[in-house]
Amino acid sequence: MTSGWAAVLARSLTDLRRPVAAWATGVSAIVLLESALWPTVRDMPRLDDLLAGYPEALTEAFGLDAMSTGPGFLEAELFSLVLPGLFIAFAVTWGTRTFAGEEESGALGPVLASPLSRAAVCTAKAAALLLALATLGLVVAVVTTVTSGIFGTGVGPARAAVGALALVLLGGELGLLALAVGAASGRRAVALATATVVAVGSYVLYVAALVVDALADVAAWTPYDQALRAGPLTPRVPGSFAWLVLVGGLVLLAALPALRRRDLRA
Amino acid sequence: MGEHDRGAPRVTRAPCGPALETRSLTRRFGRRVVLDGIDLTVARGSVVGYLGPNGAGKTTTMRIALGLLRPSSGEVRLLGGGRPSQGATRARVGYLPGDFVAYPSMTATDYLSYLARLRPPFDARTTTTLCERLRLDPDRRIGTLSHGNRQKVGIVQAMMHAPDLLVLDEPTAGLDPLVQHEFLALLREARDRGAGVLLSSHVMSEVEAVADTVAIIRDGRLVAVDDVARLLATAGRRLELTFTDAVPLDALRTAQGVRHVDVTGRTASVEVTGSTADLLRRAAPHGIERLRTHEPDLAEVFASFYPPTGECR
């Protein structure tokens, strides 16, 4: 049934064309604006004095101590909160909608009554989600690299690629969580709530651990920590990224037996 | 082997066993028993009309047959032993859900070719012909179609791969009479090429027109499964007899097969099952001025399985 699997993937990608185009335009604009600000910030007199005046927690959370360098500035302004938030919002919204949402609306009924297995429908949709995120990631990497050349932020292709990969993997894990919970439960609200609680909870824990050292061991298990602790605009791929891939894959796999056994609402 | 016999019709498997068979099919939702030991058979080349009020269990039966729901106990066999959980079995089934929903942003053409890729073989000519016969414009976005036209998309997707079993949950809801007529013709053609059809409907005239067998479900149990013709024959027929003088009530009441007599003036309305010969013989000497008979229809048969509701007025 590979042609059926490919058909669901193709159909989902067609569905994603417009949202991906819109989000790509949005994130490009944000990266462009922020990068364009860099020359002004760099030339600010007494920038370091200003930064030293911020509370320690804020400095830690947004990496403000590194803000006097180009990569540090972009990490603080974009890659530690805004872009991860956007990637997660995109992934969770779509992950929720593509299975549980379509099942609740009834549109998935004829698809699930087809010869294609439920697991195949689910994994094809997961593949579409990851491809969409990869496209957004590529856009971020390219725009970051190009604007670096223009505004001198000093983020080369390698750093931009790792930063974008962090966003893709973080969004990917939480998007797959939303998709998996939606597929296992058939309920959009449950999928959305679970992914949101995990995303917000893990962010809070990540930030708390930056201030309270005792939490560091626990926070190391959060997807935020695994994606962002190393920068993420570093020239080399951190080993912690493997956790994001592994957990995302396992979450999806774990949902499949439940999906196979349960009653469909479609 | 048989597949390559000259002139043999193109079949993927020898037609043996019924198109659909349920054995002691039971389904509970929590404590509520929705289906209670349903034994239903849809033979190949036959149309079974599945009748019952809302909530009686028709849709649940159909959803279990497609593998969308699991039975609590009992089982379903499709097309000679296949299970609903097998993709290869589902490939030979056409299904129209009771509340058919398609992707609103797609055109009917795109939607149908999408489903065709999930469920080959796809014969573009068959699909085009179906659209034409049902008067469906396949180039419009599904979201812009009226309810009836969306329903046509549902019918086409259920029939376009020439399935061996059709499971149709209230297929004519929202269709205009001309299209309903064409749809019934399509059903007869499917039956004539050997497909089994399970059809739920609230439109008795439609079931009467197309079904060979009727299964009536009440509160999750089958209360009657019979030939349409036989059901109608056993149903009470109503005769209106207007006499030249007073109604000979005793003579009518004691006649064979009479179930009920109502009198209005010189006219008696008599409900009778089976032969009317004895009734007419007894009534004739009293001078019959006028005689009208009302043949029973399926709606009356159906109603006879359901007691009048409650005591509200």
pLDDT tens-digit map of A47-65: 777 777 787 777 777 777 7
Does B112 share its domain with B215? yes
Looking at residue B208, what is its pLDDT?
Answer: 86
Of the candidates B87, B102, B117, the beta carbon closest to that of A3 is on B117
Asked if B157 is an interface residue toward chain A (Cβ–Cβ < 8 A), one would say yes
| Neighbour order of strands in the sheet with B93-96 | B93-96, B165-169, B196-200, B47-51, B213-218, B221-227
Q: Given a cut of 90, is residue B53 above it in pLDDT?
A: no
Parse chain A into domains and list their residue ranges: 2-261
| Mean pLDDT computed over every residue of chain A | 92
Looking at residue B15, what is its pLDDT?
Answer: 57
The band of B157, judged by pLDDT with boundaries at 50, 70 and 90, is very high
B214 bridge partner residues: B49, B226
Q: Given a cut of 90, is residue B168 above it in pLDDT?
A: yes
The amino acid occupying position B117 is R
Does B167 share its domain with B187? yes
Does B133 share its domain with B270? no
Of the candidates A8, A107, A266, the beta carbon closest to that of B103 is on A107
Does B189 share its domain with B286? no
Q: What domain range includes position B136?
A: 14-227
Enumerate helices (H) and strands (E) in chain A, giving the number of each: 13, 0
Does B270 share its domain with B206? no
Task: Please check whether residue A166 is in contact with residue A229, taking contact to mean a CB–CB distance below 8 angstroms.
Answer: no
Question: Whose CA is closest to B41, among B18, B59, B75, B70?
Answer: B18
Of the candidates B63, B70, B157, the beta carbon closest to that of A110 is on B157
Residue in chain B closest to A1 (alpha carbons) equals B118
More confident position, B57 or B272: B57
Residue in chain A closest to B85 (alpha carbons) equals A117
Q: Given a cut of 70, is residue A171 above it in pLDDT?
A: yes
Give the β-pairing of B288-294 and B258-264.
Answer: unpaired
Tokens of A119: 């697991």
pLDDT (average), residues A228-237 = 87
Q: Which residues of A touch B159 (CB under 8 A)?
A: none
Q: Given a cut of 80, is residue A46 above it in pLDDT?
A: no
pLDDT (average), residues A163-182 = 97
B200 bridge partner residues: B50, B169
Q: Which residues of A touch B114 (CB under 8 A)?
A: 7, 11
Q: Which residues of A touch B143 (CB under 8 A)?
A: none
Closest chain B C-alpha to A140 CA, distance in angstroms:
29
Q: Given a cut of 90, is residue B310 above it in pLDDT?
A: no
Tokens of B233: 């024959």
Q: Which residues of A touch B166 (CB under 8 A)?
A: none
The band of A245, judged by pLDDT with boundaries at 50, 70 and 90, is very high
Closest chain A C-alpha to B57 CA, distance in angstroms:
15
Q: pLDDT tens digits, residue range B230-271?
A: 877 777 778 899 999 889 988 899 998 888 899 999 999 998
Task: Please check whether residue B23 is in contact with residue B39, taking contact to mean a CB–CB distance below 8 angstroms.
Answer: yes
Q: Which residues of A touch B35 (CB under 8 A)?
A: none
Does B143 share its domain with B257? no
- Neighbouring residues of A209: CB distance < 8 A, sequence distance ≥ 6: A215, A216, A218, A219, A220, A225
Determine whether the interchain pair A114/B118 forms a contact, defined as Cβ–Cβ distance below 8 Å. Answer: yes
More confident position, B231 or B47: B47
Does B86 share its domain with B165? yes
Q: Which of A9, A114, A260 to mutate to test the interface with B (most CBs of B within 10 A)?
A: A114
CA atoms of B88 and A165, how far apart (whole Å): 40
Does B91 share its domain with B196? yes
Does B175 share its domain with B99? yes
| Domain assignment of residue B49, yes or no | yes
Q: Which residues of B touch A110 (CB under 8 A)?
A: 95, 97, 100, 102, 115, 154, 157
Chain B segment 84-123 residues within 8 A of A by beta carbon are 87-88, 90-91, 93, 95, 97, 99-103, 105, 114-115, 117-120
Chain B segment 58-87 residues within 8 A of A by beta carbon are 63, 66-70, 87
pLDDT (average), residues B277-289 = 90
The band of B80, judged by pLDDT with boundaries at 50, 70 and 90, is confident
Determine whether the interchain pair A263/B100 forms a contact, defined as Cβ–Cβ distance below 8 Å. Answer: no
ipTM of the predicted assembly exceeds 0.90: no
Structural domain count, chain B: 2
Q: Given a cut of 80, is residue A158 above it in pLDDT?
A: yes
Of the candidates B69, B99, B115, the beta carbon closest to that of A106 is on B99
pLDDT (average), residues A30-59 = 84
Q: Given a cut of 70, is residue B174 above it in pLDDT?
A: yes
| Domain assignment of residue B107, yes or no | yes
CA atoms of A144 and A146, how far apart (whole Å): 6
Q: Where residue B288 sits, what CATH number does that domain have?
A: 3.30.70.100
- Neighbouring residues of A110: CB distance < 8 A, sequence distance ≥ 6: B95, B97, B100, B102, B115, B154, B157
Q: How many percent of chain A have pLDDT more than 90?
A: 74
| Domain assignment of residue B303, yes or no | no
Q: Given a cut of 70, is residue B201 above it in pLDDT?
A: yes
| Domain assignment of residue B176, yes or no | yes
pLDDT (average), residues B63-91 = 94
Of the candidates A15, A110, A263, the beta carbon closest to that of B115 is on A110
Determine whether the interchain pair B88/A115 forms a contact, defined as Cβ–Cβ distance below 8 Å. Answer: yes
Does B139 share its domain with B157? yes
Q: pLDDT tens digits, residue range A82-134?
A: 999 999 999 999 999 999 999 999 999 999 999 999 999 999 999 999 999 99
Q: How many CA atoms lie within 13 A of A208 on its CB side?
A: 12
| Domain assignment of residue B290, yes or no | yes
pLDDT (average), residues B172-188 = 93
Does B28 share its domain with B174? yes
Task: Please check whether residue A140 is in contact with residue A83, taking contact to mean a CB–CB distance below 8 angstroms.
Answer: yes
Does B161 share its domain with B248? no
Q: Given a cut of 60, is residue B9 above it in pLDDT?
A: no
Enumerate helices (H) and strands (E) in chain B, giving the number of each: 11, 13
Closest chain A C-alpha to B93 CA, distance in angstroms:
8
Q: Which residues of B touch A7 (CB under 8 A)?
A: 114, 117-118
SS3 B257: coil
